[in-house]
């Protein structure tokens, strides 16, 4: 029984420890900070500043939106805005700590005229930043530009003379406005939420969000080829690599045997087809979504000076209006001759580029050199999101 009691006490103690360790999850899902409700007026500015590296939280989970911004915080924020450049030396203030989280920032700010301290050796590290000080630091950071005086705030007379132009400037540029009733409240404290708001306006103004240009419609390139003995296939594969194109082999429904290709035999199938204007050997399968392609490289072997009739079948199988067709061929020795131009009547409304003959052993570099000289439509030179390897 005593043992049971001991176990129970242990269990309770453990439960207590665990409950104390449990993290507090309070509406942190949207802003990432437990003290910044997703629907707070400043939530989007806090998130913007955090995401752009302008302000960090006061802890892993808190932002402390209602805490006054201190002068050290402001120096740090501007230092971050400047991209945290390297600094050297030490500042001359007596109220800053060496090696503190703000040290580099305060040093940078004083070396660059963004802050000047109180003039008595004090920086006022932990002092709450006043609204007019905030205006002045931002203004100095921006190079102390001139500003239109505009109409006065109701409390204009209480703005320090050294802050006059800065306040005009923040108002003119919409970075800070009054706090209501046309009051600027120059000595009022700026909370971290207000700071985030002003900083967001400033940052967005300096670097307006880039609206991405709509992506141009990028057409695709197809390399379609017929190859009885592999030579044309080799060039087609080079092209696929170079252009990052899709590859389609034109496969005869009835494959050619070596006897079919024996051109020394007048009656071989290949010769018969080449001599028959109406021959249209059937193709096995088809190109999926031919309509997606802007450019079709069309490859074939030279058979008796012309393209094999299966290429005719291919061209008659699709609507190629507006498609750029680039013929290429391999041969024993013949040039491309009239083989390509004779194909044009089969796709009259295509944009035919002049073709090129290669030997079956042509290198990728040789093929690349040819592609580089082609006048391809711009969009099609880039396949999807990968640059061609030209």
For residue 259, state whether it binds ligand FMN (rule: CB under 6 A): no
Contact residue for ligand FMN among 109, 245, 302, 336 (CB under 6 A):
302
DSSP 277: T
Distance, CA of 83 to CA of 207 (rounded, Å):
14
Closest CA to 328 of 348, 307, 346, 349: 307
Which C-beta is closer to ligand FMN: that of 111 or that of 257? 257
Contact residue for ligand FMN among 360, 364, 377, 379 (CB under 6 A):
360
Using the structure block, give the residue that is written with the tokens 């109409």.
Answer: 151
Sign of the torsion angle spanned by Cα atoms 156, 159, 161, 167: negative
Strands (E), 164-292: 220-225, 246-249, 251-252, 283-284
For residue 232, state whether it binds ligand FMN (rule: CB under 6 A): yes
Strands (E), 116-219: none
Window of 16-24, 134-142, 223-231, 362-370 that interacts with ligand FMN by CB under 6 A = 223-231
For residue 301, state whether it binds ligand FMN (rule: CB under 6 A): yes
Contact residue for ligand FMN among 227, 240, 313, 356 (CB under 6 A):
227
Question: Beta-carbon neighbour count of residue 103 at 10 Å?
Answer: 19
Window of 92-100, 111-119, 182-190, 231-239 that interacts with ligand FMN by CB under 6 A = 231-239
CB of 265 to ligand FMN, least distance (A): 10
Contact residue for ligand FMN among 13, 17, 263, 341 (CB under 6 A):
263
CB of 304 to ligand FMN, least distance (A): 5
Window of 77-85, 278-286, 328-336, 340-348 that interacts with ligand FMN by CB under 6 A = 328-336
Pairing of strands 220-225, 283-284: unpaired
Touching ligand FMN, residues 175-214 (CB under 6 A): none
Window of 16-24, 114-122, 161-169, 302-310 that interacts with ligand FMN by CB under 6 A = 302-310
Contact residue for ligand FMN among 127, 305, 317, 353 (CB under 6 A):
305
For residue 356, state whether it binds ligand FMN (rule: CB under 6 A): no
Distance, CA of 13 to CA of 19 (rounded, Å):
10
Distance, CA of 328 to CA of 315 (rounded, Å):
14
Using the structure block, give the residue that is written with the tokens 């040290």.
Answer: 103
Let me know if 48 is exposed, middle or buried by CB neighbors in 10 A (0-12, 13-18, 19+): buried
What is the phi/psi pair of residue 4, to 5°?
-60, -40
For residue 327, state whether it binds ligand FMN (rule: CB under 6 A): no
Kindly list the distances between the CA atom of residue 181 and the CA atoms of 153, 154, 184, 214, in Å, as whole numbers in the listed order.
9, 8, 9, 44
For residue 88, state whether it binds ligand FMN (rule: CB under 6 A): no
Which C-beta is closer to ligand FMN: that of 150 or that of 332? 332
Contact residue for ligand FMN among 73, 228, 320, 340 (CB under 6 A):
228
Binding mask 29-68 for ligand FMN (x = CB under 6 A): ----------------------------------------
Which C-beta is closer to ligand FMN: that of 166 or that of 228? 228
CB of 338 to ligand FMN, least distance (A): 12
Distance, CA of 190 to CA of 71 (rounded, Å):
10
**The two structure tokens encoding residue 200:** 């967001």
Q: Is 14 helix (H, G, I), strand (E, B) or coil?
A: helix
With CB under 6 A as the rule, give the number of residues binding ligand FMN: 21
CB of 275 to ligand FMN, least distance (A): 11
For residue 304, state whether it binds ligand FMN (rule: CB under 6 A): yes
Which C-beta is closer to ligand FMN: that of 80 or that of 269? 269
Which C-beta is closer to ligand FMN: that of 231 or that of 313? 231
Q: Is 356 helix (H, G, I), strand (E, B) or coil?
A: strand
Closest CA to 179 of 166, 189, 169: 189
For residue 330, state whether it binds ligand FMN (rule: CB under 6 A): yes
Distance, CA of 65 to CA of 29 (rounded, Å):
17
Residue 232 in contact with residue 225, Cβ under 8 Å?
Answer: yes
Interface contacts to ligand FMN, rule CB under 6 A: 227-233, 261, 263, 270, 301-305, 330-334, 360
């Amino acid at each position: 029984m005593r043992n049971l009691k001991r176990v129970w006490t242990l269990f309770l103690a453990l439960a207590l420890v665990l409950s104390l360790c449990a993290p507090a999850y309070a509406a942190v899902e949207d802003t990432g900070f437990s003290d910044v409700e997703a629907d707070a007026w400043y939530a989007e500015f806090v998130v913007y500043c955090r995401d752009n590296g302008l302000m960090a939280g006061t802890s892993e989970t808190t932002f402390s939106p209602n805490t006054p911004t201190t002068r050290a915080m402001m120096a740090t924020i501007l230092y971050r805005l400047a991209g945290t450049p390297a600094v050297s030396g030490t500042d001359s203030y007596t109220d800053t700590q060496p090696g503190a989280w703000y040290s580099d920032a305060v040093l940078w700010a004083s070396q660059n005229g963004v802050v000047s301290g109180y003039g008595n050796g004090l920086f006022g590290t932990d002092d709450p930043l006043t609204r007019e000080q905030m205006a002045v630091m931002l203004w100095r950071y921006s190079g102390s530009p001139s500003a239109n005086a505009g109409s006065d705030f109701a409390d204009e007379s209480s703005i320090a003379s050294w802050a006059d132009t800065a306040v005009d400037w923040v108002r003119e540029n919409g970075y800070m406005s009054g706090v209501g009733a046309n009051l600027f409240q120059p000595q009022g404290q700026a909370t971290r939420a207000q700071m985030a708001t002003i900083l967001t306006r400033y940052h967005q103004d300096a670097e307006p969000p880039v609206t991405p240009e709509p992506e141009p419609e990028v057409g695709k390139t197809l390399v379609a080829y017929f190859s009885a003995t592999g030579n044309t296939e080799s060039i087609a594969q080079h092209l696929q690599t170079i252009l990052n194109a899709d590859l389609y082999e034109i496969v005869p429904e009835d494959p050619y045997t070596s006897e079919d290709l024996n051109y020394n035999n007048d009656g071989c199938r290949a010769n018969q087809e080449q001599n028959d204007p109406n021959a249209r050997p059937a193709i096995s399968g088809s190109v999926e979504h031919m309509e997606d392609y802007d450019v079709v490289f069309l490859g074939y072997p030279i058979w008796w000076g012309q393209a094999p009739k299966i290429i005719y079948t291919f061209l008659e199988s699709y609507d190629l209006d507006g498609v750029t067709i680039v013929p290429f061929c391999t041969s024993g020795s013949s040039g491309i001759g009239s083989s390509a131009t004779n194909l044009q009547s089969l796709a009259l409304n295509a944009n035919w580029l002049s073709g090129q003959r290669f030997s079956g052993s042509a290198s990728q570099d040789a093929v690349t050199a040819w592609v580089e000289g082609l006048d391809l439509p711009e969009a099609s030179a880039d396949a999807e999101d990968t640059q061609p390897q030209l």
